[in-house]
A and B are shown apart, each in its own frame.
Chain A
Amino acid sequence: MSSAESGPVLTVSDEFSDVVSPGGQRFWSAVQRVLIALLLLLIAGALWELAKLITGTGDRTMPHIWHTLRFLGSTTSQDENYTWFLVQNVWSTAKASLVGLLVGTALGLTTGVLIARNRLFGDGLMPLIVAAQAVPIVAIAPALVLWLGTGGVTKMVITTYLTFFPVTVATARGIQSVPQESHDLLRTYGASKWTSLRILEIPFAAPLIFVGLETAAAFSVVGAIVAELPFGSNEGLGVVILTSWQFYIVEPRALYCVAMASCALGAIFVLSVRLAAYFALGPRSQGEVL
């Protein structure tokens, strides 16, 4: 045999091109992104102060940032530290968001797979899902509170409702874009529908599913807060927002503090999904958590 020309190692090495970026480089680019994010935050703060200065807006409408931050150290009427009070309410909202996100994701994955697998079912269901999503949640939330009460169930139903949609669409689209050749490949090995879903379709759709999950994570926090807004709820960020709003004339800083807490919770949710994607997708996530 002509092993001289077709010697495997020789032919291989010159065909090979390395595209892996070293781990250290990844770390520094992550640090860079964090620094840029902090810088942008500082710029936003500076713009706030600048706008206040130029327009001459009073402290009642636009309190100084440092005054607002100082308010976090104040004491509530129940003799509680305000930050601790916020953390407890953030926790209450976070629990509802997480449960809703998990249930919505499970439902969304299942529905997405069904839509992708069954064209007729998908064509019929997709417009309904889109239409249902267009119903403003703020409009039906009070009705849901009447039906289901002000407890955790209402919160869960609303967050599930909001997270279900992006996960469904992402899963269906992801699975539908699996190339025919890949289906053919598994077919030649006699793969069952379940095996094909597990080995081919879900992994193929995973990057898109995570994009849907990211949106869903942000929605779940918004959904839980909206569910807490109607009167009768007794804890959660929505309740704090409502009371801070009512006492805005007396103490404007409370509303800004709870707004920041809501942002922080949303950010934690979205970043957690990105972190999960980073570990689940490996090199396909391109190492971008932030």
Chain B
Amino acid sequence: MADEMGTLGLRASGVGKRFLSKGGDVQALEGVELEVAQGGFTSVIGPSGCGKSTLLKAFSDLLEPSTGELSVNGKSPAEARAAREFGVVFQSPNLLPWRTVLRNVTLPLQVMGVDRPTRIQTAHEMLELVGLASFIRHHPWQLSGGMQQRVAIARALSTNPSVLLMDEPFGALDEITRDRLNLELMRIWGTLSATILFITHSITEAVFLSSQVAVMSSRPGRITRLIEVDLPYPRNSQTRDMPEFYELVIEVRRALVEASDAT
């Protein structure tokens, strides 16, 4: 995608995070270096508890790193949050059950004080984009898990962020639904020009979606390898049948094994 020189979409340099706990301190992250170009799609993959969600939380200004620096579009996470530079998609859809689909999507704009007609129109557009235009009046509990996560994506897009931080958004879904939503995400990303940081523990998902895969080891959580995925965009279901796709899947798997052997 648009790979402009200049400010990076996301940047982490020397990021470490230590959690204090009763059973001894936990070094969740150590010396994490990561650069994502504006408009780039980077996946972070690693075993459970390797600190990949911690990294995303640090980017989204939900926790302070103990050491190092992070930037989003050249700004600090706190500044970027204030400037609504990024949207977050959480592990669970995290929808408010008493609100309809439409009003879940208008939520961020409501918090920001956008007037009612504008936020409803924006929500309609976003729900159209994720293919849920006919479900605006439903409540979250009337939707399947995959649909709920799509509402969450629409909500994250409603503020028109240039960066999307996604924390294992499809982790709880079955593989068929996940594949389908991966295609959806590729389509949506094709129409926007957002920078995406995508946390996952699925190798095929990481390879299929991203232009760069960051492999993480656990305890301490650090990025052990960066793998460039030079499969052509736009990607579709044929991409998964390409031999290069399989080679890359194998490469990421080996990198993961090496990462876990090293510790």
Q: Which chain A residues lie closer than 8 Å to B91 at the CB level?
A: 181
Chain A residue nearest to B130 (CB atoms) is A8
User: Is the CB of A191 closer than 8 A to any CB of chain B?
Assistant: yes
Q: How far is the CB of A191 from chain B (nearest CB, A)?
A: 5
Given contacts A1-B234, A17-B142, A182-B94, contact A188 B130 (CB under 8 A): no
Question: Can you name 4 extra interface pairs (CB under 8 A) apart from A11-B180, A184-B88, A191-B111?
Answer: A2-B187, A6-B131, A181-B90, A189-B111
Q: Which chain B residues lie closer than 8 Å to A12 at the CB level?
A: 131-132, 134-135, 147
Cα–Cα, bound, A206→B98 (Å): 10
Among the 9-residue stretches A125-133, A244-252, A277-285, the one with 4 or more Cβ atoms under 8 Å from chain B is: A277-285
Q: Which chain A residues lie closer than 8 Å to B82 at the CB level?
A: 190
User: Is the CB of B7 closer than 8 A to any CB of chain A?
Assistant: no
Contact between chains at A200 and B96 (CB < 8 Å): yes
Q: How far is the CB of B213 from chain A (nearest CB, A)?
A: 22
A-B contact pairs, 17 of them (CB 8 A): A1-B190, A2-B238, A5-B237, A6-B131, A6-B180, A7-B131, A8-B133, A9-B134, A15-B146, A19-B142, A181-B91, A181-B92, A189-B108, A189-B159, A191-B111, A199-B111, A203-B96
User: Is the CB of A187 closer than 8 A to any CB of chain B?
Assistant: yes
CB-contacts of A191-205 with B (<8 A): 191, 195, 199-200, 203-204
Cα–Cα, bound, A95→B15 (Å): 63
User: Is the CB of A146 closer than 8 A to any CB of chain B?
Assistant: no
Per CB-CB distance, the 5 closest pairs between chain A and chain B, nearest first, are A8-B131, A2-B236, A15-B144, A189-B111, A6-B183
- Residues of A bordering B, CB below 8 Å: 1-3, 5-9, 11-12, 15-20, 179, 181-182, 184-191, 195, 199-200, 203-204, 206, 281-284
Q: How far is the CB of A286 from chain B (nearest CB, A)?
A: 11
Q: Which chain B residues lie closer than 8 Å to A15 at the CB level?
A: 143-144, 146-147, 177
Candidates A20, A199, A281, A282; contact of B110 at CB < 8 Å: A199
Cα–Cα, bound, A184→B94 (Å): 10
Q: Which chain A residues lie closer than 8 Å to B187 at the CB level?
A: 1-3, 6
- Residues of B in contact with A, size category: 35 or more
Contact between chains at B132 and A184 (CB < 8 Å): no
Q: Which chain A residues lie closer than 8 Å to B86 at the CB level?
A: 188
User: Is the CB of B250 closer than 8 A to any CB of chain A?
Assistant: no
Contact between chains at A8 and B132 (CB < 8 Å): yes
Contact between chains at B111 and A195 (CB < 8 Å): yes
Q: Which chain B residues lie closer than 8 Å to A190 at the CB level?
A: 81-82, 84, 111-112
* B167-184 Cβ-contact flags toward A at 8 Å (1 or 0): 000000000010010011
Q: How far is the CB of A279 from chain B (nearest CB, A)?
A: 13
Q: Which chain A residues lie closer than 8 Å to B87 at the CB level?
A: 188
* B112-134 Cβ-contact flags toward A at 8 Å (1 or 0): 10000000000000000011111
Q: Which chain A residues lie closer than 8 Å to B98 at the CB level?
A: 203-204, 206, 281-282, 284
Contact between chains at B90 and A6 (CB < 8 Å): no
Given contacts A189-B111, A189-B112, A199-B110, contact A181 B94 (CB under 8 A): yes
Q: Which chain B residues lie closer than 8 Å to A9 at the CB level?
A: 131, 134
Chain A residue nearest to B156 (CB atoms) is A188
Contact between chains at A5 and B236 (CB < 8 Å): yes
User: Considering residues A17, A188, A199, which has the most beta carbons from chain B within 10 angstroms of its beta carbon?
Assistant: A188
Candidates B144, B183, B236; contact of A17 at CB < 8 Å: B144
Cα–Cα, bound, A268→B182 (Å): 54
User: Is the CB of B61 closer than 8 A to any CB of chain A?
Assistant: yes
Q: Which chain B residues lie closer than 8 Å to A199 at the CB level?
A: 107, 110-111
Cα–Cα, bound, A281→B133 (Å): 25
Given contacts A6-B184, A20-B142, contact A184 B111 (CB under 8 A): no
Chain A residue nearest to B143 (CB atoms) is A16
Q: Which chain A residues lie closer than 8 Å to B132 at the CB level?
A: 8, 12
Q: Which chain B residues lie closer than 8 Å to A281 at the CB level?
A: 98
User: Is the CB of B97 closer than 8 A to any CB of chain A?
Assistant: yes
Cα–Cα, bound, A8→B81 (Å): 31
Q: How far is the CB of A188 from chain B (nearest CB, A)?
A: 5
* B100-114 Cβ-contact flags toward A at 8 Å (1 or 0): 000000011011100
Contact between chains at A18 and B142 (CB < 8 Å): yes
Cα–Cα, bound, A138→B234 (Å): 77
User: Is the CB of B60 closer than 8 A to any CB of chain A?
Assistant: yes
Candidates A16, A181, A186; contact of B111 at CB < 8 Å: A186
Contact between chains at B183 and A16 (CB < 8 Å): no
